[in-house]
A and B are shown apart, each in its own frame.
Chain A
């Protein structure tokens, strides 16, 4: 499977999981009992996280924009997800550079994943970028700093659950991460 097809399929799969499963979680009362803010875990930014390391930044930006717009279309959020995704895509290289031990161009066609980076660096990398994404999304959605505690609780709740799903996704698809792709 070529690396393009692989990423395209991942795009479709992640949007499917996000839109058809995770967005419905907030409709269950036990996800937000008495007074706890409603929140959604976002797993679709994983597409940007898992793009090959040597992908040029302009392509990451544009694919992040496309990804965000697709999710916006399904979730009726105007352009909030797109804005958050573009922000996250822009910050990706700045986070990736200090975490990786070697120079960026030495990773040919490799994705940042558990296999190439190990658990701790990968989870650090994804938690920083997901934090930025969630912060941008929630600030744009709430559009006020009236209730900072509410923002923090909502941010933490969705960040923790998002990271859980990211780890779950990595575990589920770690078999295919093992294989090498040459193209």
Chain B
């Protein structure tokens, strides 16, 4: 029996912006972890831990200095187009075209993926319905609130039916109900469609007990495992206490 290929395999990845004044040459160093099909994995770390840098390397915005990133078995360095075709990304910074309508934004993204209108038009309708955006389809993105914009970005990342969804602190700037709704939407995707998710965050309440966690601190992975495993390893009653024990400082 062969072992299943993980949706994301990160192996020995390091990346540096150049030597810093404090002597540290790497923003992230020797990163190893995997995300299996249908798994929700939280990349947990405080601001400055290296989450955004790691996601930029995983999505090929930056070329890895060393190590490899594989998406569904395709190496991002050697087969970037096969790897990127299987990945959807929601960036921390909003990347929607404010002067285009919701549907125009989605059509544009579908076109960039080479999808035919006959394929993407029903897919857009389905996603708009799923994320309760159908009534806003003809509205300019400029008129949408932050929660709705995030949902459009999530719909856009799912247009081409990716096997891996990468989200960089997607709840930044959202109110509590919108945050909760987004977390629920993405967990439902894992359960119902088997999409693998890598969710970068510094907020513990976005992580459910059944999720996996990769703890990042000062550019290094300090722990990986399920929530109970992380708690057991730190001998802590809750995830936030376990996190504080592992990184040895307050995350607030």
The answer to whether A and B come from one shared complex is no
